[in-house]
Amino acid sequence: MQEIKCPSCGEVFVVDESGYAQIVQQIRDKEFEKELKRRERDLQEKSTSDLKLARMEQKEEFDKALFEKESELSEKDKMIERLKAQISGNETEKKLAVTEAVQEKEKEIASKVTEITDLRSQLSNKEIENQLKEKSLREQYEDRLKLKDEQIEYYKDFKARQSTKMIGESLEQHCMNQFNSLRMTAFPAAYFEKDNDARRGSKGDFIFRESKDGVEFISIMFEMKNEMDTTATKHKNEDFLKELDKDRREKKCEYAVLVSLLEIENELYNNGIVDVSYKYEKMYIIRPQFFIPMITLLRNAALNSWQYRQELEIARHQKIDILNFEENMNAFKEGFARNYRIASDKFKKAIDEIDKTIIHLQKTKEALLSSENNLRLANNKAEDLSIKKLAKNAPAVKKMLEEMKDVND
């Protein structure tokens, strides 16, 4: 139980713990609420004071910023006025400058337009030129293709109309006719004849040789092969290469060429000259239409090679001449040195003899000088000689000379 005294009347109340707790709670709640209101009031007052202060500070800052802005605007207005005056004063110059710039730009534009027009014209011409070239190439290709087809058909028909016996001979005759038609214009100094030398068991069909200044610079062994399409056993070009290489070596030819109509459907041989030198040295397989071009190709290459060989030969002879010159120079130097040594020895001996002669002459000179001195002394003595000196120590002679003098007087 708890006692509670009333602060007003002084009466004491007795309450249980539960009632006491409720009374205490009521008092606390009232005090808390009272304190909360007080604090709310303080906070409100403080907030109002702070807000006023902040508004005052904000107003001061705003007034300051406004003053600065007004100052800036005033300066800008002044600057605008100055610029307006400057612009007004330079308006004529600006108009002139703008006019000149516009004229210059118009000139540039006109120049560009002209350039673009020229380029378009060139491009158009180029396109036309390319179209013409393309058309020309297409026509050339079509012509070649047509010619190729015609040649294939021709040789097919050619073989079909020949007997088995005459096929090879006809191909040989065809190549011979092609060569003879150009012999005097393209190969006037060349040798092109049938190979009739079969002493070693085999022979080719034709041999081509050509020389210049007595030196052979090209030689080709030709073999012609053809067969009927109806022949049971079909031959291949490779079947004849080994024998052709053997014939080339035996006849001492530089190149070997198989002119063939075998394997007529094989595109490898139909496309042009086939180089088989990977298998047999300096050997080629061709169709008959490449017979003359093949000779021309190998001949021109060999002629260029011959010119190089001639230049190398000249250079080699020049080198030999230089070596001979050096040998002659060395021989001359050795002979000159030998003759110089002999002449030097003889010259030295002559100098020695001259030196000896000079010494002898010097002695003779000294002797002569000594003799001359003695003669001078003798002459001086002779000139100094007198009667008085002679009779100086001879009184009888002196007396006789005086007597003779008196008689003469």
Reported as a single tens digit per residue, the pLDDT across 110-165 is 777 677 777 667 767 777 777 777 777 778 777 777 777 776 666 665 555 544 44
The span from the CA of 270 to the CA of 287, in Å, is 7
Domain assignment present for 81: no
Domain assignment present for 279: yes
User: What is residue 16's predicted lDDT score, i.e. its pLDDT?
Assistant: 67
Q: pLDDT exceeding 90 applies to what percent of the chain?
A: 17
> Do both 125 and 257 map to the same domain?
no
Domain assignment present for 351: no
> Do both 219 and 299 map to the same domain?
yes
> Do both 185 and 237 map to the same domain?
yes
Q: Has residue 333 got a pLDDT over 80?
A: no
Domain of 285, CATH number, reads: 3.40.1350
* CA proximity to 259, closest of 295, 218, 231, 301: 295
> Do both 171 and 266 map to the same domain?
yes
User: What is residue 209's predicted lDDT score, i.e. its pLDDT?
Assistant: 94
> Do both 231 and 193 map to the same domain?
yes
The amino acid present at 50, given as its one-letter code, is: D
Q: What is the mean pLDDT of residues 367-384?
A: 66
> Do both 152 and 176 map to the same domain?
no
User: Residue 4 — φ and ψ, nearest 5°?
Assistant: -130, 130
Q: Has residue 331 got a pLDDT over 80?
A: no
Q: What is the DSSP letter of 8?
A: T
**Regarding beta strands 12-15 and 190-194, do their DSSP bridges make them parallel or antiparallel, or are they unpaired?**
unpaired
Cβ density class 3-39: b for 16+ within 10 Å, e for less? eeeeeeeeeeeeeeeeebeeeeeeeeeeeeeeeeeee
Enclosing H/E stretch for 71: helix 17-89
Reported as a single tens digit per residue, the pLDDT across 30-68 is 676 777 677 777 777 777 777 777 778 777 777 777 777
Q: Which of 317, 338, 366 is the last residue of a domain?
A: 317
Domain assignment present for 377: no
> Do both 156 and 195 map to the same domain?
no
Show the domain range for 51: 2-73
> Do both 214 and 306 map to the same domain?
yes
> Do both 49 and 30 map to the same domain?
yes
Q: Has residue 374 got a pLDDT over 90?
A: no
- For residue 81, the cross-strand partners are none
Domain assignment present for 259: yes
Terminal CA-to-CA distance of the chain, rounded, Å? 227
pTM equals: 0.41
Q: Which of 251, 286, 317 is the last residue of a domain?
A: 317
The span from the CA of 53 to the CA of 61, in Å, is 12
> Do both 199 and 272 map to the same domain?
yes
Confidence band for 286, pLDDT divided at 50, 70 and 90: very high
Burial of 275 (0-12, 13-18, 19+ CB in 10 A): exposed
Q: Has residue 399 got a pLDDT over 50?
A: yes
> Do both 33 and 105 map to the same domain?
no
Domain assignment present for 340: no
Reported as a single tens digit per residue, the pLDDT across 94-107 is 667 667 766 776 77
> Do both 200 and 299 map to the same domain?
yes
Reported as a single tens digit per residue, the pLDDT across 10-29 is 666 666 667 666 666 666 66
Domain assignment present for 385: no
Reported as a single tens digit per residue, the pLDDT across 168-225 is 557 888 889 999 999 999 899 899 999 887 776 677 889 999 988 888 889 999 999 9
Among 70-74, 80-84, 89-93, 187-191, which is the least confidently predicted range?
A: 89-93
Confidence band for 166, pLDDT divided at 50, 70 and 90: very low
Q: Which of 284, 317, 350 is the last residue of a domain?
A: 317
Q: What is the mean pLDDT of residues 342-359?
A: 71
As for how many domains the chain has, the answer is 3
Decide if 189 contacts 210 (C-beta within 8 A): yes
Q: Has residue 237 got a pLDDT over 90?
A: yes
Q: What is the mean pLDDT of residues 328-335?
A: 69
Domain assignment present for 350: no
